Chain A
Amino acid sequence: MVDALYSSELICSYVDFKNSTDKHKFIFSFRGKMSHAVVKNLLSMAEKKMDVLQEAETVKKKIFGVMINCLQTICSEAKTIEDGDDSIFLISKDEGGFTVFAGRNLSESIASKLAGLINEVNQLDRNSLLDLHKEKLKELQNIGEAFNIDETILGLVDIAKRSGKNINYLIENIESDKVFFSIKVLIN
């Protein structure tokens, strides 16, 4: 086969980057600050993409729910520890289904709390998840803070309910009191 034809090294660096992502089969990815408007757009983009892929309404609903909760739980602006810290969000699709990924830099203490909550949620069966969801919804009505741990667990329970699978996470140390927290949810 013939070699590539190109006009500059600059474009080659982006082609290399694109090629390195091909094996992951992303349908879209975003890196940046997750403002309310960006989240709204990500949701709208996912909706349009699902329409193009002609996915069933039930699958669309599941993905939508998981997306919202991942974005609120992991990428929320309230968890920013440093200016310039941004989040990454992506969705991939292969024969096993859709996978939602979210990641960002977090303080070690918030990451540990999140990990503890995910472990707690991962141990519950479907009925226990439903009971916990009801209980937390009731509690939430009495809480006025913008971000708190009860709201986080509600989001995680919702993710587990919708995906029907364990929530995977990974914590990687970056520097003192700063880690990169990744979450992965499979929907099929």
Chain B
Amino acid sequence: MNQANHDISFLHDFYKRMKKNQVLMMYEGEFSQDVTKSVLSMTENSFSANNVDETVKKKVYNIMMEALQNICKHEFKQLEQDLPNSESLFMISSTEKNFHIITGNAIEKKIIETIKGKIDKVNSLDQEGLKLLYKEARLGSTISSVGGAGLGFIDIARKSGNKIEYHFAPLTETIFYYTQLVTVTK
């Protein structure tokens, strides 16, 4: 039995750390369609309780959907049962000025460059550039230049108006944990 898990004294400390990082909610595990729906609905209710502006709410909601879809698309499921700390993650935090939407999942090392390339590309563009890239990607004319259509990342960048942050940490020689952070200004 994992003793650490059954010690009650960590709870207050964890509560304080959640508060310090301003984390409102964290979910780890498989993202079925039903779980995704519940996570979205939970966030929506949390917003209603905190009088969040409708436009911001809509942005966060849409970005969450995209980010959660990306988890389903890219997560490396085969090893999830056996590899420690590789479960997919959703976390949302609320600071004074921003909401941070944090997602994480295990991926194969070989797709890191593709993901990084897509993000670096959208991060280098302004709103007008993103709009053009989105149109082109939808028409399918620039698939190779963005390393796949990358519509999800373009859409996230357009809606958030901020850079997409990434973190790739090795779990094994060939599997990495990919964390993504999107900021929505309140």
Q: A24-B14, A35-B45 are in contact. Are A5 and B112 (CB under 8 A)?
A: yes
Whether A28 and B1, one on each chain, are in contact in the complex, defined by CB atoms closer than 8 angstroms, is no
Question: Which chain A residue shows the least CB distance to B12?
Answer: A180
Whether A26 and B26, one on each chain, are in contact in the complex, defined by CB atoms closer than 8 angstroms, is yes
The CA-CA distance from A167 to B120 in the complex, in Å, is: 51
The CA-CA distance from A13 to B167 in the complex, in Å, is: 11
A1, A18, A45, A183: the one within 8 Å of B179 (CB): A18
Q: Is A22 an interface residue (CB 8 A)?
A: yes
Whether A13 and B21, one on each chain, are in contact in the complex, defined by CB atoms closer than 8 angstroms, is yes
Q: A49-B35, A96-B1, A99-B6 are in contact. Are A15 and B167 (CB under 8 A)?
A: yes
Q: Is A30 an interface residue (CB 8 A)?
A: yes
What per-residue 1/0 map shows which CB atoms of B1-27 lie under 8 Å from chain A? 110111011111011011101011111
The CA-CA distance from A10 to B28 in the complex, in Å, is: 20
Rounded to whole Å, the gap between the CB of A58 and the closest CB of chain B is 21
Stretch at the interface among B61-69, B85-93, B136-144: B85-93
The CA-CA distance from A24 to B46 in the complex, in Å, is: 25
Q: Which residues of A come within 8 Å of B, CB atoms?
A: 1-2, 4-8, 10-15, 17-33, 35, 37-38, 41-42, 44-45, 48-49, 51-53, 88, 90, 92, 94-96, 99, 101, 103, 168-170, 172, 180, 182-184, 186
Whether B38 and A48, one on each chain, are in contact in the complex, defined by CB atoms closer than 8 angstroms, is yes
Q: A4-B170, A96-B1 are in contact. Are A182 and B165 (CB under 8 A)?
A: no
Selected A-B contacts with CB under 8 Å, 18 pairs: A4-B167, A4-B168, A5-B168, A8-B165, A14-B21, A24-B5, A29-B18, A30-B26, A31-B18, A41-B41, A41-B42, A45-B38, A48-B35, A52-B35, A90-B11, A92-B5, A95-B1, A170-B11
The CA-CA distance from A184 to B10 in the complex, in Å, is: 11
- Give every chain B residue within 8 A of A168 (Cβ-Cβ): 8
Q: Which residues of B come within 8 Å of A, CB atoms?
A: 1-2, 4-6, 8-12, 14-15, 17-19, 21, 23-30, 32, 34-35, 37-39, 41-42, 45-46, 48-50, 84-85, 89, 91, 93, 100, 102, 104, 112, 116, 119, 163, 165-170, 172-173, 179-181
Rounded to whole Å, the gap between the CB of B65 and the closest CB of chain A is 17
